[in-house]
Chains A and B, each alone.
Chain A
Amino acid sequence: MATKEEYPLKKVLIICAKGNLEDVYAALVMANGAVMEGIETKLFFTFFGLDAITKKRMNNLHTATVGNPALRMPGGLPFPTLLGMLPGVEAGVSAMMRKEMDKLDVPPVKEFLEMITAGGGEIYACKLAADMFKLKKEDFTEEVVDIITVGQLYEMSGGIGTQIIFV
């Protein structure tokens, strides 16, 4: 009889390259979930994803109200793109989404990063993107361990049972 061998996940590297609310939260939920499972976790932010760790922007991320076909009005009707264009609508919709998530005990970005690092997870920023957006270590929240290159990222990715997840 063939035996089925299981190789448990030991380490995850989660890369977040987008700065909208839903993609940042996808990365944060996955990272925090991994930490909670006792999996070694490294979270790497690049390009627009840097918004999630930039002090000035991290707690005010938006979800797109234009060009987002899955967005619905409360009640389920499609969200009209023309409405999404109006000033303040995107901010309002995003604030509402953050509020709904808070009800489910999904914390604001800063607190989420604190939770991940409290459990031993590590947060990194991408050097190339930081240079491009002219961001320095002091622009980032203190949970960020370091600004690293893609080479350094791969150096961290060794070992059996490691997975890289790109958000």
Chain B
Amino acid sequence: MAEKIVAGRTIQVNEEGYMTNPSEWTREIAAELAKEEGITLTDKHYAVLEFIREKALAGETLTIRKIGTSGIVDMKEFYQLFPGGPLKLASKLAGIPKPTSCV
């Protein structure tokens, strides 16, 4: 566990860079974390991040399929918005723990 100063705030992160306290999350923090990953957040990104936060904070297991059927983005767009490992990356930027699902 470590502390990190992002967008002027101190946040708790684990050794992989995932925020450990979702309530510390702000849109500005997401933007800053995204920049570290080489991504400039758009409204579409934020819509996905907020969807993910809502589901995760409600205790639902996140799967890539849930995002693809969310009505916000389809699967292809999701991969384009968060290139590489979309579910992991989006979870990181949404300030929630690393996803634990296999799908």
Contacts and interface: CB of A to CB of B under 8 A. Distances in A.
A37 B88 CA distance: 8
Given A29-B102, A32-B103, A36-B64, A119 B75 contact: yes
A85 B66 CA distance: 37
Interface in A95-132: 104-107, 111, 114-115, 118-120
Interface residues of B, number: 20
Nearest to A111: B65
Contacts, number: 43
Contacts of A36: 64, 85-88
B103 A105 contact: yes
A136 B102 CA distance: 33
Contacts of B79: 118-120
A107 B61 CA distance: 15
Interface centre among A33, A104, A118 (most CB of B within 10 A): A118
28 contacts: A32-B103, A33-B102, A33-B103, A36-B64, A36-B86, A37-B88, A38-B84, A38-B85, A104-B103, A105-B63, A105-B65, A105-B66, A105-B101, A105-B103, A107-B65, A111-B65, A114-B75, A115-B64, A115-B65, A115-B68, A118-B68, A118-B74, A118-B75, A118-B76, A118-B78, A118-B79, A119-B75, A119-B86
Nearest to A38: B84
Nearest to B63: A105
Nearest to A28: B103
Contacts of B74: 118
Interface in B47-88: 61, 63-66, 68, 74-76, 78-79, 83-88
A114 B75 CA distance: 9
Nearest to A33: B102
A26 B58 CA distance: 29
Q: Which 7 A-B pairs have CB atoms at the shortest separation, nearest pair first?
A: A118-B75, A38-B84, A105-B63, A118-B76, A38-B85, A105-B65, A119-B79
